[in-house]
Amino acid sequence: MTLITHVPDGGHAQLITRCDDEPTMDVITLTTEEEGVGIVCGAWAGGRRGVLLMQSSGVGNTVNALALPNACRVPFLSIVTMRGEWGEFIPWQVPMGLAAPTILEAMGVQTYRVDDGDRVGSTVEAALAMAHNTRGSAAVLLSQSLLGAKQFEEGG
């Protein structure tokens, strides 16, 4: 994996920082998640492997774009931090958090849910292998119970 695309997200912050510090990786900050689908597909056409990091609330933004890797048989991987689950405090995160796995599966994306921190690395490796071996799409869903629920901070 040499290309990381992402919309800024607290759940991915440590991973993004580590990738940004790695000289062999290019990190691209996106304005919207669907841009990442096109960039990752284009990178594969150019001989590189990439990943799209996004929050479950951004899955809805990718629906039309996910037709590209599906129709063109481009290996595609996304790592999704889930919201709207365990301990959520923002009501509008709940509907997309509930719908994200179903939307991804409807678009031909094989989903792998992770609730145990010890399984993140092996699950990402398995999803990446599946995507590249079958020229399919995969998403690793990092549960909100794994990441911890975000809390409202008063006073700013």
User: Whole-number mean pLDDT of the chain?
Assistant: 92
Give residue 49's pLDDT. 95
Residue 84 confidence class, pLDDT cut points 50, 70, 90: confident
Mean pLDDT across the stretch 10-27?
Answer: 95
Q: Does the structure show a pLDDT above 80 at 103? A: yes
Mean pLDDT across the stretch 88-114?
Answer: 91
The H or E element that residue 35 is part of is helix 33-45
Question: How far is residue 121's CA from residue 3's CA, in Å, rounded to a whole number?
Answer: 17
Residue 147 confidence class, pLDDT cut points 50, 70, 90: confident
Question: How far is residue 63's CA from residue 70's CA, in Å, rounded to a whole number?
Answer: 11
Tell me the pTM: 0.91
Domain boundary assignment for the chain:
1-31+50-71+84-94
Q: Model confidence over 44-79: pLDDT tens digits?
A: 999 999 999 999 999 999 999 999 999 999 999 999
Residue 149 confidence class, pLDDT cut points 50, 70, 90: low
DSSP string over 125-147: HHHHHHHHHHT-EEEEEE-HHHH
Q: Does the structure show a pLDDT above 90 at 30? A: yes
